[in-house]
Structure 1
Amino acid sequence: MLIGFGLWTAASPLPAADRFTMVFNGEAVRDNQTGLIWEREPDREFDVWSASIARCERKTVGGQTGWRAPTIEELKSLVDPSQKDPALPPGHPFVNIKSAIYWTATPSPTDEIVAWQVSFFSGEAVTDQKSGTRRVWCVLGEPKK
C-alpha cells in the first residue's frame, strides 16, 4: 500500500521500533522509512516563517550542520492519522512535541504572504500567514523532488 502526500510517496508505515533509529549521540532521529534525519526535540522558539527557516539553516544538532526546514510533504510523512495529540506513530522517540503547529519551508503557490504548516495535535496540514509565530522542526537530508 502506498500513502501519498502530494509529491511525497512512502511505503506502508514501518512499526516505530523499526522505523526510527537514534543518531548523533541521541540528539537526532533517522526515519528509516524516508531516510530523513529529524531533530529529536524540535525547536522550542515560536517565530515568524522567515526567521524560523533561517534558524534551521544556522543550527548545529549532534555536531551536524546543514539542517533546513522541511517541505510540507516531508513533515506530513511523520504524521500518523490514527493518532492525536501528538499525531505521531505510537512508540516514536521524539521529545517535547507538545501538539504544536510547525512551519514548513513550503510557501503557498497562490499567495506570497502564506506558507504551509502542520498541526501535531490533529495531523492536519494548513496554511497561514508567514507573519504568524510557530515552531519549526528541522530536518537533515535532501528534499524529495
Structure 2
Amino acid sequence: MRFGYVLMLAFLLQVAYVVLDDFAISRVRERMRFGEKIRELRKKKSLSQESLAKLVGITAPYLSKVENHRLDFGEHPAEKLIHKLASVLDADETELLLLAEKVPPNIRQRLFERPEIFSQIAELDDEELDLLILHILDRPKQV
C-alpha cells in the first residue's frame, strides 16, 4: 500500500525535482559539505578568502571558519550570507541552501501549503523514496 502513496505523492515531488537538479539527486548519499562547496566555487572564480570575504561583507577569518566547518554558533551561516555568496560566486542558491540544511523559500511555501503530503514523504524509506524519484524522472515534463 505504501507504493500507492508513492504514486500519489509523485506530483509533489516534481516540485522537489525541479529544485533538486541532477546534482542534488546524484549526491543524495555522498553529499558535499557546504564549506567545501564554497571553497570549490571560490577557487573556481580565482578569488582569495580575503577578496570573497570583502565582496560579501564578512571577515576572511569568518569565511575560513565557514569553509572549514568551524563556526562557533552552528554548522552553517545565516541565509542572508548564503544569498550573498550565491550571487557573488554565480552559484545555484537553492543548492547552497540545501547544502547548508536550510529550506529554500519555494519548498518552504509548498510545505506549509501541503503539510500532510510532506509528512507522508518523510515516512518513506530510502528505497521507496528512490522509486518515487525514478517515477518522477521517467515522467514527461509538463509545459
TM-score normalised per structure 2 = 0.26
Instruction: Answer 1 or 2: higher relative contact order, Cα 8 Å, separation at least 6.
Output: 2
Which structure's residues are more often strand, by fraction? 1
Which structure's residues are more often helix, by fraction? 2
Largest Rg, 1 or 2: 2
